[in-house]
Amino acid sequence: MYNHRTTDRLEYFSDAVLAIAATLLATELPKPEAGTDLLGEILKNWPHYAAFAASFLFICVAWSNHHNMFIYIKKTDQYLLILHILFLMFVTLQSFTTGLLALHVGKPDERTAALIYHTILVLMTVLYNCVWWYATRKKGLLEENTDPALVKLLTREYAIAPVLHLAALIISFWNVAFSIIPIVLLYIYFALPRFSEKKIRERNESIQG
Amino acid sequence: MYNHRTTDRLEYFSDAVLAIAATLLATELPKPEAGTDLLGEILKNWPHYAAFAASFLFICVAWSNHHNMFIYIKKTDQYLLILHILFLMFVTLQSFTTGLLALHVGKPDERTAALIYHTILVLMTVLYNCVWWYATRKKGLLEENTDPALVKLLTREYAIAPVLHLAALIISFWNVAFSIIPIVLLYIYFALPRFSEKKIRERNESIQG
Amino acid sequence: MYNHRTTDRLEYFSDAVLAIAATLLATELPKPEAGTDLLGEILKNWPHYAAFAASFLFICVAWSNHHNMFIYIKKTDQYLLILHILFLMFVTLQSFTTGLLALHVGKPDERTAALIYHTILVLMTVLYNCVWWYATRKKGLLEENTDPALVKLLTREYAIAPVLHLAALIISFWNVAFSIIPIVLLYIYFALPRFSEKKIRERNESIQG
Amino acid sequence: MYNHRTTDRLEYFSDAVLAIAATLLATELPKPEAGTDLLGEILKNWPHYAAFAASFLFICVAWSNHHNMFIYIKKTDQYLLILHILFLMFVTLQSFTTGLLALHVGKPDERTAALIYHTILVLMTVLYNCVWWYATRKKGLLEENTDPALVKLLTREYAIAPVLHLAALIISFWNVAFSIIPIVLLYIYFALPRFSEKKIRERNESIQG
């Protein structure tokens, strides 16, 4: 009972942090003042709106995956908590790096802003994977009857995010615009139905059936 | 169990996003500095206060309807999640479009601001309906013993919001002030007791009785 | 089941709004820049810190009372929801009126700011009482075996807040500084153990014993 | 039932306040505008990033300990609530004192900013301990079968935080940079596995085994 409750509050805390981080993104959008050409200003500010949409979707995808992960992680210990807190710290930095990128797109320091943006995403997704790796290796944290094949599948699926973000980081040294390619690939991957999800559904049907 | 829990966390996450989006609206209100004529400034800023009240009520109505919808939606899949995340994205944009409208009421770009405001509301309510349409069409997402007549009734009731917001959008091309008429109609509609609610109450009584 | 769940989500939503409204207050505190006399600036800004503390305590007292109220309110309907949403709207305005008051204390428009501050508090506490009045009068919303004497006691206790805030409003027409007296009385009242609480504890003991 | 529910909502409210306070920290980070040397500006702003990380970790450690405390505190009364609300008030002040410290590091008023920062942390951790002291002394608030040896152990562990923060406060009178030493010691202490945790785990095993 003690440990189950622990996971519950960890999940509520994470949900709250992710929800706030996602909602605060919109408060950073520049609102052109009266007296300016409103439509022109809005169109000129497109990097802000694109960065808002990308970061909002990113945080929601992180929430959704986080949620799937904690179907399997049933107990926590102090080390898992520390890894998880560091993961959340990089989530809350999203609004900062998104704003930075939007401010500098098409400006001399575009590359620096893109490198900062991608570095935070690499660190965040690496920490997400660390939480999972630790939970699968340490005895007694995963749900007891978790299918080892499913654990392996999820480990591989979760690892795709830091790999593609690292690719985006490396590409942005050479060309900032092209660094969007691995990000788009990542979104397509997350939008398509996944093997692990099919496995989960089959498992649920066999439990409930 | 897996899917039920999924809906729970989706509801908590949505509640958090809606609560934050609603609460942040007040932080956008202009506070006249000392040295100005406070009462005069506050009265001059009436569009900000009117926009605040309208958007706050709107988000709370969205929350209340969302809450009713998830009495029937018991399981989620990836596509419902994506539709739902896009719905939340437009919810968080409310504070931006509200601020924009308040800044430009009675100024040259009033029409542009109103068109942006209504467009976001149309997209938000269309996505809300998409979540419902998808849940009713896909097998296994609705509660098993949901009355098909009630589903039909709710489908019709939910569709009223995007229709009236589209009307407001079209009217604001011609006259911004009049575009408030369909919005007021929508609020009156939501304030009156509804047929679906009566049906729900009867159903509950027959279950509990 | 349907209605119980309704109250749950209403409580979570309210908790979230109250928690955000309370936490956002600190973001309004002025931070003196480097180069100024830090301690002198902080002391000069005392109205901001006093207003922050008062509003934070106020929202927490509102949360605590709200929480007690929903021990008895077990079901909601549309009208209770509307009253409740209006109550929350005035809660979120706290950060605005607090900031306004802090900006204008000791300035020419002090009275106007104090009147706005107290008016919002009167409206908020009246709406709080409306939620309770409606719940006690409408059949089927209160927990079935609620002691009528306790309901009467709570009705009287809840009514003290709008009465004292109205007194503060009236006093501030005449003298802004003295308008703090009914507020201090209200806090002392809330800090002392109350008759209703004793009654609740006795009731719990009789249930559990 | 009544009291258990009380603790639940107190925990949700606290989780929400702590999550929001932690997430808002990132919104205070200065974003260098285009046209400046981005990397240079970011490096120059290092106190802001260091203060952000320290305060984020601090709030998360507070959340984690708070969470552990409420495994044992099962019922609340009005006085515990008041102490707890004051604790939360100082938590929300974190973003203010963190911003203040970051603005004044290396500037003439560095000492004043550090004293304010440490004072708020001393008050916050003292109040945290007050909540625990009150709960352990007042009859009927702790879980019935709590091991008295564990209560004693936790009382000692919780007391370490205000002692080390007081040390930091005293050191910063003499040297601001060295005041970080007790803080680092505190973090190392919280990162290492603790005796109380081992005791809790053993207890759980004996309950579940």
pLDDT tens digits, one per residue of C121-141: 999 999 999 999 999 998 888
Cβ pair A93, A156 in contact under 8 A:
no
Instruction: Report how far residue A66's alpha carbon sits from residue B41's, in angstroms, rounded to the nearest whole number.
Output: 47
What are D9's two structure tokens? 């909502």
* Distance from the C125 Cα atom to the nearest Cα atom in chain B, whole angstroms: 18
Q: Which of helix, strand or coil describes residue C194?
A: coil
Band of the pLDDT at A2, cuts 50, 70, 90? very low
Q: Find the range with the poorest average confidence among B26-35, C23-32, C102-111, D3-12.
A: D3-12
CA B82, chain centre distance (Å) = 18
D6 contacts in chain C (CB < 8 Å): 67
Assess whether pLDDT exceeds 80 at residue D49: yes
Assess whether pLDDT exceeds 60 at residue D157: yes
Assess whether pLDDT exceeds 70 at residue D53: yes
Using the CB atoms, write b or e for C118-155: b if 16+ within 10 Å: bbbbbbbbbbbbbbbebbbeeeebbeeebeeebbebbe
Q: Find the range with the poorest average confidence among A183-192, B10-19, B112-121.
A: A183-192
Nearest CA in chain A to B82: A191
What are A104's two structure tokens? 């500098």
Q: How far is CA B132 from CA A61, B72, C3, D50, in A?
A: 21, 10, 21, 46
Of C7-11, D64-68, D164-168, which has the strongest mean pLDDT?
D164-168
Cα angle C129, C20, B41; round to 5: 80
A20 contacts in chain B (CB < 8 Å): 16, 20
Assess whether pLDDT exceeds 50 at residue B113: yes
Residues near D208 by Cβ (< 8 Å), separated by ≥ 6? none
What are B129's two structure tokens? 């309906």
Q: What is the pLDDT of residue C194?
A: 67
Band of the pLDDT at C34, cuts 50, 70, 90? confident
Judge: B22–C17 Cβ closer than 8 Å, yes or no. yes
Band of the pLDDT at C164, cuts 50, 70, 90? very high
Judge: A31–B100 Cβ closer than 8 Å, yes or no. yes
Assess whether pLDDT exceeds 50 at residue B1: no
Q: Which of helix, strand or coil describes residue C186?
A: helix
Assess whether pLDDT exceeds 90 at residue D165: yes
Assess whether pLDDT exceeds 50 at residue D33: yes
Interface of D with A (CB under 8 A): 11-12, 15-16, 18-20, 22-27, 29, 31-39, 42, 53, 56-57, 60, 63-64, 67, 71, 191, 193-194, 197, 200, 204, 207
Q: What is the pLDDT of residue D1?
A: 32
Percent of chain D past pLDDT 70, that is, above it, reads: 89
Band of the pLDDT at D163, cuts 50, 70, 90? very high
Instruction: Report how far residue A24's alpha carbon sits from residue A99's, in angstroms, rounded to the nearest whole number.
Output: 11
Q: What is the pLDDT of residue A165?
A: 93
Q: What is the pLDDT of residue C208?
A: 55
Tell me the per-residue pLDDT of A18-57, one tens digit each, with 9 for 90 and over.
999 999 999 888 888 877 788 898 888 888 898 899 889 8
Cβ pair B73, B79 in contact under 8 A:
no
Mutate which of D89, D90, D105 to disrupt the C interface (most C C-beta within 10 Å)? D89
Q: What is the pLDDT of residue A133?
A: 95
Band of the pLDDT at B122, cuts 50, 70, 90? very high
Q: What is the pLDDT of residue A91?
A: 93
Helix axes B195-208, B148-174, angle to 10 degrees: 160
Considering chain C, what is the average pLDDT of its residues? 85
Mutate which of B10, B14, B23, B147 to disrupt the C interface (most C C-beta within 10 Å)? B23
Q: Which chains would you list as touching C if contact means 3+ CB atom pairs under 8 Å?
A: B, D
D51 contacts in chain A (CB < 8 Å): none
Of B91-95, B195-199, D102-106, which has the strongest mean pLDDT?
B91-95
Considering chain A, what is the average pLDDT of its residues? 85
Complex ipTM, two decimals? 0.84
- Out of D26, D39, D207, name the one closest to residue A96 (CB): D26
**Of D85, D19, C21, B76, whose CA–CA distance to A11 is shortest?**
D19
Judge: A24–D29 Cβ closer than 8 Å, yes or no. no
Instruction: Give me the residue label for tokens 């498992």.
Output: A203
Say how many CB pairs under 8 Å bridge B and C.
Answer: 87
B22 contacts in chain C (CB < 8 Å): 17, 88, 92
Q: What is the pLDDT of residue B3?
A: 40
Nearest CA in chain A to B88: A23
Assess whether pLDDT exceeds 60 at residue B182: yes
B64 contacts in chain C (CB < 8 Å): 81, 85
C16 contacts in chain D (CB < 8 Å): 16
Residues near D201 by Cβ (< 8 Å), separated by ≥ 6? none
Q: What is the pLDDT of residue D6?
A: 62
Q: What is the pLDDT of residue D88?
A: 95
Report the DSSP beta bridge partners of residue D36: D34
For range B94-108, the mean pLDDT: 88
What are D92's two structure tokens? 């929300």
Of B31-45, B111-125, B135-149, C189-203, which has the strongest mean pLDDT?
B111-125
Judge: A25–B85 Cβ closer than 8 Å, yes or no. no
Using the CB atoms, write b or e for B108-117: b if 16+ within 10 Å: ebbbbbbbbb
For range A4-29, the mean pLDDT: 84
Judge: A19–B6 Cβ closer than 8 Å, yes or no. no
For range C78-91, the mean pLDDT: 91
For range B89-107, the mean pLDDT: 90
* Distance from the D131 Cα atom to the nearest Cα atom in chain C, whole angstroms: 16
Tell me the per-residue pLDDT of D107-143, one tens digit each, with 9 for 90 and over.
888 999 999 999 999 999 999 999 999 999 988 888 8
**Of C128, C111, C120, C99, whose CA–CA distance to C166 is shortest?**
C120
Q: Which chains would you list as touching D if contact means 3+ CB atom pairs under 8 Å?
A: A, C
Q: Find the range with the poorest average confidence among C127-131, D27-31, D204-208.
A: D204-208
Band of the pLDDT at C195, cuts 50, 70, 90? low
Assess whether pLDDT exceeds 60 at residue A5: no
Q: What is the pLDDT of residue A205?
A: 63
A16 contacts in chain B (CB < 8 Å): 16
Q: Which carries the bigger pLDDT value, residue A124 or residue B34?
A: A124
- The helices-and-strands tally (H runs, E runs) of chain B is 9, 0
Assess whether pLDDT exceeds 60 at residue D3: no
Assess whether pLDDT exceeds 70 at residue D85: yes
Judge: D104–C34 Cβ closer than 8 Å, yes or no. yes
What are A159's two structure tokens? 């690892």
Say how many CB pairs under 8 Å bridge A and B.
Answer: 87
Cβ pair B193, C80 in contact under 8 A:
no
Band of the pLDDT at B193, cuts 50, 70, 90? low
Q: What is the pLDDT of residue D124?
A: 95
Nearest CA in chain C to B59: C85
Assess whether pLDDT exceeds 90 at residue B202: no
DSSP state of D177: G
- Out of A1, A92, A109, name the one closest to residue D34 (CB): A109
- Out of D2, D13, D100, name the one closest to residue C31 (CB): D100
* Distance from the A199 Cα atom to the nearest Cα atom in chain D, whole angstroms: 30
**pTM exceeds 0.90, yes or no:** no
Q: Find the range with the poorest average confidence among D5-14, D52-61, D93-102.
A: D5-14
Percent of chain B past pLDDT 70, that is, above it, reads: 89
Assess whether pLDDT exceeds 60 at residue B4: no
DSSP state of A179: G
Instruction: Give me the residue label for tokens 């206790």.
Output: C157
